[in-house]
Structure 1
Amino acid sequence: MVRKRIRDPEVLPEAPAQDADNDSGSDDDVDMVNVEFEWFNFKPDIDFHGVKSLIRQLLDVDSQLFDVSVLADLVLSQPTVGSTVKVDGEETDPYAFLTVLNLREHKDKKPIKDLTEYIISKAKSDPTLNQIADLLSSSAEVGLILAERLINVPGEIAPPMYSMLIDEIEAAVEDKEPYEFTHYLILSKTYHEIASALDQEDAPKSKKSKANRGSKEVFYFHAEDEVLMKHSLASGSYDYTKDEGEGMADSKRAFSEMGVKPQGSMLLIEAAKFEGAVKAISQYLSPPQ
């Protein structure tokens, strides 16, 4: 298993090489790219812009509701809890990150206060998520997990990041730091299929109304979320507050053109079941030896 030193941000691990594409069995059909991913602790002077960009991507259009810069600063203020993943060395921007924030410990800080209020409002909008709203309004110790990666980064990086997080939390608790949680809340993203904007332009009217209904089957941007969901106490998706047209990037318009509608999602896992959930991720996503 990939490891980095837990409490020493200066000592970094050697990371194994990963294939960016799986071999389909034909050299003619697939170009193999050998990529060496490296796991690092957070470095505020290096990682601010990269982490900020990934947080904005995670929160999607609703990132406009928050001070993402301050939230990134808070993430980077915990250098020994959480990880970044890079390809070209420590001085480059991260391709992925994962961390956990104590919602009670930081409850008076504006980005966490705003984010907690947002999560509660979204949880109240769906009966399957009401338990999350109740929990966040109680005295429970909830760790908010934020994790995101660039769209072309393989899911195989997730198991080491989650396994490292467990080790880092254990070390932090031993050091009397506030990471002893009763629950973990994972903020993530899902999507479902809708009518493609491109197809709609040419479709007959009789077919447009049927296509507009789309599909309500849920798909996951992060493959590990499908595993975590099976271990969750509560989980579900929600619509974003901001309209997709408000400040939407060209890449977001491409989703609509392809018939994909992103949504926010949240998963609540009891702390006692978290390690088992992470092991299940490893079994599901770890590359073959």
Structure 2
Amino acid sequence: MVKRKPEELGEVATSKGRGEEDESSDDDMDMLDVDFEFFDPQPDVDFHGLKSLCRQLFDLDAQLFDLSALVDLILSQPTLGSTVKCDGNESDPFAFLTVLNLHQHRDKPIIQTIIKYLSSKASKVPNMSGLLDSTGSSSRHEVGLILTERLINMPAEIVPPMYNMLMEEVEWANQDNEPYTFSHYLILSKTYKEVESKLDAEETRSSKKMKKSKAVGDNTFYFHPEDETLHKYAMAYGNFDYTSVPDEGRPDSKRTFNDLGIVPQGHLILIERSKFEEAVKAVSQYLQPQA
């Protein structure tokens, strides 16, 4: 099913390629017309694309989860959540956003694994500890786990429509007495920190023993720029280290444009239901396309 296509989307800025003969400014941009379409999740065509995006979202710890079971669960609720495509319904999604009721699905093995995992990570975040441990049958909390990911070159302007459509779909589901009356929304995301490059260090310390990669400053950088806006409405948020240990050369395999390595981290944002609509409006204002 094709959803409403936001009229604001279509013209996307991309960096202009520069060769040896191009002495133009780094600020030069080309404008591309890209026709984004928003779809309901399609069980017949989206399994592999969603699995790839979920693997990207969970990053180093993706191997800890049965991603096939997770995607099957996402696709079992096709009227909730969105995918974004550029080449029609039969193509792979470039982005997705959905919500899973951790209370409703607490008996499913994949959700049990996710709850256990996120509980351990949330235990180190103030005001978040213990919330996921209380998703049992007698709990007053119904946590909606928001999963969203996109290809690295997707424009952030696609995010507000997905959140707005999600709010509408949750409202419609509640009118039909479906189990989506959440008390809290928990958003799983990713951040990263920059570290000194070991490749550069090896060039200057060829005869010395290599030291562990060292973080450059204490700044956190965001793969999803909307996260910083969501923080303003959250009751809790914080980073966490992945359980799986990265390979020694992995930070350099993800070097950024300024030649630093990067170390990704997981990120959690917890928003009460009463603040969620306001948070989505703020994201829409922050990411509205530039005139």
How far apart in 1 are the matches of 2:241 and 2:2?
A: 42
How far apart in 2 are the matches of 1:147 and 1:287?
A: 20
Pair 59,262 (structure 1): closer, same or farther in 2 beyond 3 Å:
same
Structure 2 residue aligned with 1:272: 274
RMSD: 2.7
**Shift >4 Å, 4+ stretches:** 22-28, 208-211
Q: Provide, for residues 34-57 of structure 1, a one-character-per-residue CA deviation record: whole Å limited to 9, x for no partner.
A: 111100001111000000100010
CA contact (8 A) 1:62 1:240 kept: yes
Matched ranges for 1:172-251 at <5 A: 172-204=173-205, 212-245=214-247
1:131 Cα deviation after fit = 2.9
Pair 244,47 (structure 1): closer, same or farther in 2 beyond 3 Å:
same
The secondary structure found in structure 2 opposite 1:33 is strand
**Does structure 1 residue 135 correspond to structure 2 residue 131?**
yes
How far apart in 1 are the matches of 2:27 and 2:63?
A: 44
- Larger helix fraction of residues: 1
How far apart in 2 are the matches of 1:168 and 1:26?
A: 45
Structure 1 residue aligned with 2:264: 262
CA contact (8 A) 2:41 2:78 kept: yes
Q: Provide, for residues 187-226 of structure 1, a one-character-per-residue CA deviation record: whole Å limited to 9, x for no partner.
A: 00001111123322224599x8797242221111001111
Residues matched between the structures, number: 274
Pair 23,212 (structure 1): closer, same or farther in 2 beyond 3 Å:
closer
Q: Please give the TM-score of this superposition, normalised by the length of structure 2.
A: 0.86
CA contact (8 A) 1:197 1:258 kept: no
1:27 Cα deviation after fit = 12
Q: Please give the TM-score of this superposition, normalised by the length of structure 1.
A: 0.87
Identity %: 53
CA contact (8 A) 2:252 2:260 kept: no
Matched ranges for 1:19-168 at <5 A: 19-21=11-13, 29-124=28-123, 126=124, 129-138=125-134, 139=139, 140-168=141-169
How far apart in 1 are the matches of 2:14 and 2:245?
A: 36
Structure 2 residue aligned with 1:3: none
How far apart in 2 are the matches of 1:19 and 1:239?
A: 37
| Counterpart amino acid of residue 280 in structure 2 | V
